[in-house]
Structure 1
Amino acid sequence: MAQKNTPVKETNQEPFVFQKANYRLMIVSIVVVILGFIVMAGDTDIYSTSKIIIAPIIVLIGFAIGFVAILKKPANNN
C-alpha cells in the first residue's frame, strides 16, 4: 500500500513580547516597591523622615524600573 504524503503545516509562532531581561527587571521592580512599603510601615514615629520622604521615593523608583521593564525593546539576535 502506498504512503500518502501529506503536506506539513508550518505554524508561525509569534515571539514572546518580553525577553528574559524584561522579566528580571519586572521582578526587581516588584521587590523594590515591596521594600518601599516595608520601610513605610515601620514601627517608628509616624512622621519620621524615612516614612514620609525616603519610602515614597523608593516606591517611585520601583515603579520607574517597572516602566522601563515594560518599554525596553528586546535585543535582536538574528
Structure 2
Amino acid sequence: MRLRVGDAALADLDANQIDARRISLYDGPIESILKDDIGTLEATTRLYGRVWTSGPQVVIRWYEAHPPDGDVGRAAG
C-alpha cells in the first residue's frame, strides 16, 4: 500500500459515530473512514480492524481497506 513509518492521515475512527462530538471506543471490531489520501489509499476508504482498550492506551489495528473503487487491500502478517 506504499505506506511508510511516520505517514499520517485524518480519519473518522468509528464510522458509526461520525456525528458524535465525543466518541466511545470498546474492545472489538471497528470500521473507520479515511478523510485524507495516504499512500495508495484515497479519502473515503473504509478501514476495518480491531480495538484494544485494556492497556495504558487505546490501540487500533486495521487489517483491511475498502477503497471507493472497490479494490480490497489486506494487511500482510
Name the TM-score, length of structure 2 as normaliser: 0.18
Larger helix share, 1 or 2:
1
Name the larger-Rg structure.
Answer: 1
Larger strand share, 1 or 2:
2
Name the TM-score, length of structure 1 as normaliser: 0.18
